[in-house]
A and B are shown apart, each in its own frame.
Chain A
Amino acid sequence: MSSIKRSAVVALSGFLLACAAHAGQAAAPRKATAPAKKAASAPASALSAEFDKFRDIMEEASPAELFEAKGEELWKTRRGPKNASLEHCDLGLGPGVVKGAYVRMPRYFADGGEVMDVERRIVHCMVTLQGFKAEDLAKRPFSSEAGTPDPVSLVTYVAGQSRGMKIAIPQKHPKEREAYKVGEAIFNYRAGAWDLSCASCHSEDGKRIRTQDLPNLTTKKDAIRAFQGWPGYRMTGGLMHTLQWRMNDCFRQQRFPEPGYVSETIADLLTYMGVNANGQVYKGPGIKR
């Protein structure tokens, strides 16, 4: 019994070492782990440089393109109970305008009265224009061995139409500014079994989990890393994932309750992180390890 307990403690301290214990943690274990952290930091960054090289090679032939093509077909095809295409879907730049829409979302939409990120908006269009049921779309929203849900391919297509453009997420409407504020609050909200927040791991420079360097999402320089490369094709499993999935997984990793698919919470969080990345160039759908 006690050995089980001890190994649990070891595992937990290992996690904190990697994720870098936040300020509130007891001083003693931090001191003890400091030399180990120093020793490990050099090979880790060399390793992530190798990952970057690998990603550069893979980007040249990213399977994300296959999903862009699939998404384009879905966008233009008449589908759903109302037998309509999405070519009248307004992504914020007018009905049917896809070019440049991705780098200007999340934004406020008067017809829904809400701030929507790209996937939330696409689902909104699929429901209002094509007559799909939101509950059905939320049943299996993420890519798996069973297949790639349509919204995922659609998001990838829309994202591809903003390749090489500057991120310019609007903050004009009061609701958009409110979404940023709420998003920031969610980012810093500590809760759950491990008392973590997004900020626990993503508000300091030079932190990592295992070999993964963690971006400090509160800084201008790193904020792009929460935007770049998404939606992304994950080589592990060969699945296409969007930011909806990524946020869902962050919540899972924090031992939070599962957020609702295309919920306001996620739209707010994506507003906060997206606006912080404003002004930087988006390279289009990416590829992940």
Chain B
Amino acid sequence: MADPMRIRAVAKDGAVSVKILMSHTMETGQRKDDAGKLIPAHYIQQVSATWQGKVVLSANWGTAIAKNPFLEFSFKGGQKGEKIQVTWTDNKGDKRTDEATIN
């Protein structure tokens, strides 16, 4: 089961700055374990953020992204008290959605 994300969203000067920490192993599929066997790839492929039903960020990720990734972006509009949802989907079909209130 995927662990929750930590999302911080702060409104300032007409824009919202969003900082997201995700808990994910981001295994590249190129590493070997102690027994010399390949560790299967397991990484986030798709990230999207929505605000008021509108997609404000959509990203395709690959194996070059670090373990426990940190993502920061900002978008125009957005008021204090409104909600933002972030979803990721990984290559095994695991999915996680979390929500945060804009401060």
Contacts and interface: CB of A to CB of B under 8 A. Distances in A.
Interface residues of A, number: 10
Contacts of A69: 3-4, 6
Contacts, number: 27
A66 B33 contact: no
B2 to A, nearest CB: 11
Nearest to A240: B68
B6 A238 contact: no
B21 interface: yes
B6 A65 contact: yes
Q: How large is the interface on B (under 10, 10 to 19, 20 to 34, 35 or more residues)?
A: 10 to 19
A261 to B, nearest CB: 21
Given A63-B21, A66-B23, A69-B4, A145 B33 contact: yes
Interface string B1-25: 0011010000000000001010100
B82 interface: no
B96 interface: no
Interface string A39-79: 00000000000000000000011010110011000000000
Interface in B17-39: 19, 21, 23, 33, 39
B33 A61 contact: no
Contact of A66 (B19, B66, B68): B68
B94 interface: no
A63 B68 contact: yes
B42 interface: no
Interface string A138-157: 00000001000000000000
B70 A63 contact: yes
Contact of B21 (A65, A145, A238): A65
Given A61-B21, A65-B21, A238 B66 contact: yes
B3 A66 contact: yes
B67 interface: yes
Contacts of B72: 61
Contact of A61 (B3, B19, B67): B19
Residue among A60, A63, A70, A238 with max Cβ neighbours from chain B (10 Å) = A63
Contacts of A66: 3, 6, 21, 23, 68
Contacts of A233: 68
Interface in B56-88: 66-68, 70, 72
Contacts of A61: 19, 21, 70, 72
A65 B70 CA distance: 11
Among B19, B68, B70, max chain A CB count under 10 A is at B68
Interface of B: 3-4, 6, 19, 21, 23, 33, 39, 66-68, 70, 72
User: What are the nearest 8 A-B pairs in CB distance?
Assistant: A238-B67, A63-B68, A61-B70, A66-B23, A65-B6, A238-B68, A66-B21, A65-B21
24 contacts: A60-B19, A61-B19, A61-B21, A61-B70, A61-B72, A63-B21, A63-B23, A63-B68, A63-B70, A65-B6, A66-B3, A66-B6, A66-B21, A66-B68, A69-B3, A69-B4, A69-B6, A70-B3, A70-B23, A145-B33, A145-B39, A233-B68, A238-B66, A238-B67
